[in-house]
Structure 1
């Protein structure tokens, strides 16, 4: 199934169009200008036989089983979100910075960017065997993550449209971007003769509750790490065009700028609540969420080294570069971040990868009885838990936004 924005964008991109301001309630009888569709077709093909994918109907893939490392769908306390963005309740809300973000979103730089051509399907048909399987898994994970962002931002826009129309419009335009990304990825899946039923996924996926401040910490990090992942892959493939197996990656340069703009808006949201950046609790949560995102990505990607190798990348080198660059971006906002350039940090992560690989191998072993498998897992699980505890106490850096007077960065500028 493909989720796509029907703004006639592929037919009228050559004509100038001005975006109308967001309105809390459109006039009665006015047709909606943008519709999210979750209908797609993907014809069955022998190229996918033997790859182990299950379908709910022809060309529609059953979503991968949810695990601790798979992309999640989120919900939150929307009433508390309204308080966060209320100018009457929150005196720290800097509408000047938020309005600058809003103008960036309204400019819609990528309105005409996501236009497919005839090379997509032809390239997909040339990807076969194990490489095809890992491409499909990559597309599914990426589509699910983008669609998750779309659902969250869309609901926030709906809930905030009365109390804070400008902020609601920003969330609405962010959901527009995520919808385009998800639709583009799901259409790519259909090139591989599979697609996701995103409507079914919406109703049947487990939603994880996070408090508003945790939602903002986590989504800020996910947008910034998404930027560094996309731009790193793009730059690598520009230098090594022979590894460009599928044209999707040619879109990553502009695509990742959406992620960057989203991250900047979420940074402004955090600065609107200084207590999320200048207290001892903020320091603990900042470091915790950095480590959560970095560890999850590192373990996830090392389970799928074949994908990065197919693109000519070294998984370990790619992950370490992305984490280091994301951390540099994050330390300009968060009061504390882990010191990822300390050699001990990646030594711990690499040991986690080794232990996790053994656990994955045990899970895949169909010959060992379940009770014996559980016993064999225990020492590995204990070892992984001990490594997680050790990394929580890893060396850290005191930093923060220069806009927060009590941050380490602001205090350094005072001299």
Structure 2
């Protein structure tokens, strides 16, 4: 691709957050800190202690250092690809920073009350801050950056019950692992598509994501009500589907970014979802039947309706909400039909989903 923009200078110029708010914008969360302090961890305490020791060793502490490769000027990116990459960096940075704030507050609230969790969340906050800072510096290569301090004060915080936090953070970390490792392995085979040194760090990055997911798996399995009841089976289906639909919508919104990497966005989306679903069978009582003939076609319909709604939002015509309503209704209807697909029992059908 031919670069049609002037080369960025070596100095990062702070800019106002550019992100347009939408249903897919990463959110900031708070939870029931009292419930977290009172968690009975006896069933998983040994495993959690082992992971705490591993995190204290901080094997990745020297893996997020910018090197000489960052002096390149991204000459191989045209304007459209460059903006897609900036959007990817921006949303990823906000997502990592959101995790940092949640884990930091959990650590602060649990200190002296549930010390093993306080220590674990402190180290998880360290990892998320490291990721967010690294992404923000990468944005600086394009003369833009996020004011994370201002973002902390200006964004709305959404309350999630502790159980919802455990389900969603587990899935967020595991789907993050698969996103990073699939991109990393793809670029190992096709280095001609690696337009940024950032991707060299994805292997270390996904190790952090995987470890964080394992911690939340242990938290989930320490609470029998989260995996041994009929309610937990419904919640597992709901959160798996919510995360997968969100992933499909986001990937197709950023399709230019994945095309620039030499990836087919739909194939990438499906591979990430399949792998995350398989991994979730080790934690959740129920997982989705991603091989059902309606599963991915309905996910793709959700993505296409979201793109159509986004296009309406960008134009200057009147009655935008009314014009978008049929698309939002279609997304909800396809979500509902996906939820009705018979799930797989992760305990009985483990061989099917792994």
Whole-angstrom distance in 2 between the partners of 1:125 and 1:188: 15
Structure 1 380/83 Cα, relative in aligned 2: closer, same or farther at 3 Å? same
Whether the 8 Å CA contact 1:151–1:175 is kept in 2: the answer is yes
Task: Name the residue aligned to 2:236.
Answer: 286
**Does residue 1:65 correspond to 2:15, yes or no?**
no
Task: Name the residue aligned to 2:106.
Answer: 156
Whole-angstrom distance in 1 between the partners of 2:106 and 2:230: 28
Higher-helix-fraction structure? 2
Whether the 8 Å CA contact 2:13–2:140 is kept in 1: the answer is no
Whole-angstrom distance in 1 between the partners of 2:267 and 2:76: 27
SS in 2 for 1:208: strand
Alignment size in residue pairs: 344
SS in 1 for 2:72: helix
How far apart are 1:319 and its partner, in Å?
A: 0.5
**Does residue 1:115 correspond to 2:65, yes or no?**
yes
Cα RMSD of the aligned pairs, angstroms, is: 1.9
TM-score by length of structure 2 reads 0.93
Whether the 8 Å CA contact 2:84–2:256 is kept in 1: the answer is yes
How far apart are 1:365 and its partner, in Å?
A: 1.6
SS in 2 for 1:60: coil
Unaligned 5+ segments in structure 1 are: 1-44, 49-56, 85-89, 401-407
Whole-angstrom distance in 2 between the partners of 1:349 and 1:61: 34
Whether the 8 Å CA contact 1:156–1:168 is kept in 2: the answer is yes
Whole-angstrom distance in 1 between the partners of 2:208 and 2:287: 24
Task: Name the residue aligned to 1:127.
Answer: 77
Whole-angstrom distance in 2 between the partners of 1:91 and 1:130: 49
**Does residue 1:264 correspond to 2:214, yes or no?**
yes
Runs (4+) off by over 3 Å? 45-48, 123-128
How far apart are 1:375 and its partner, in Å?
A: 3.2
Whether the 8 Å CA contact 1:230–1:256 is kept in 2: the answer is yes
Whole-angstrom distance in 2 between the partners of 1:94 and 1:380: 44
CA displacement 1:156-177 (0-9 Å, x = unmatched):
1111111121221111111111
Whether the 8 Å CA contact 1:98–1:268 is kept in 2: the answer is yes
How far apart are 1:150 and its partner, in Å?
A: 0.7
Whether the 8 Å CA contact 2:171–2:280 is kept in 1: the answer is yes
Which of 351-360 and 117-126 deviates more? 117-126
Unaligned 5+ segments in structure 2 are: none
**Does residue 1:275 correspond to 2:222, yes or no?**
no
Structure 1 59/125 Cα, relative in aligned 2: closer, same or farther at 3 Å? farther
SS in 2 for 1:348: helix
Task: Name the residue aligned to 1:186.
Answer: 136
Correspondent of 2:341 among 371, 382, 394 = 394
Structure 1 169/91 Cα, relative in aligned 2: closer, same or farther at 3 Å? closer
How far apart are 1:353 and its partner, in Å?
A: 1.8
CA displacement 1:59-89 (0-9 Å, x = unmatched):
32324132211111110010111111xxxxx
Whole-angstrom distance in 1 between the partners of 2:73 and 2:194: 10
**Does residue 1:75 correspond to 2:25, yes or no?**
no
CA displacement 1:330-352 (0-9 Å, x = unmatched):
01110011111222100111111
How far apart are 1:58 and its partner, in Å?
A: 4.8
CA displacement 1:105-124 (0-9 Å, x = unmatched):
11211011011112214244
TM-score by length of structure 1 reads 0.79
Task: Name the residue aligned to 1:14.
Answer: none
Task: Name the residue aligned to 1:332.
Answer: 282
How far apart are 1:359 and its partner, in Å?
A: 1.2
How far apart are 1:204 and its partner, in Å?
A: 0.6
